[in-house]
Homo-oligomer: A and B are copies of this chain.
């Protein structure tokens, strides 16, 4: 598997260490980054994270904007300026900086959420709420998509 899938909740120990889920470590290793690229999510109290592929994507995103434009500088600042490369120790654990933890309201536990090409870090309780909302919105979204996507699918619409 080369994608971040599923969610895992792990504990932060007294030294601030957290185990990165083994399956996520596998994806990162294949991705060719010895660490985790991580920055505060733009529109959620969470952290976005990923490997080399994510860095490349963000690079492209920025490069697509006009050079020296305000937008470009702002985007670059918002993303790169707040990013960190988290190291992973020999036991597969990492340490989040105070600034990152603070943005996500993380204290004693972290929920790792796979989103395919990247993943997010959440404070567990906040994530529960967020997930409930997301599922509701997707239910609505699916109705919209449904009509156009009947392909071979049958009455199920776009849920797949």
Task: Write the residues of chain A forming the contact surface with B, with a CB cutoff of 8 angstroms.
Answer: 1, 3-7, 23, 37, 41-44, 48, 50, 54-55, 57-59, 61-62, 67-68, 70-71, 73-85, 113-118, 120, 130-131, 133-135, 137-139, 141-142, 145, 154-156, 158-160
Contacts and interface: CB of A to CB of B under 8 A. Distances in A.
15 contacts: A4-B80, A5-B37, A5-B83, A6-B83, A7-B82, A41-B73, A42-B139, A43-B70, A59-B116, A61-B67, A76-B115, A78-B134, A78-B138, A80-B113, A117-B160
B6 A115 contact: no
A133 B97 CA distance: 22
Given A71-B141, A74-B141, A82-B135, 16 more contacts: A3-B59, A7-B82, A23-B85, A41-B159, A48-B160, A57-B67, A71-B137, A76-B116, A77-B130, A78-B134, A80-B113, A80-B115, A80-B116, A81-B115, A81-B131, A155-B159
A59 B117 CA distance: 10
A37 B114 CA distance: 13
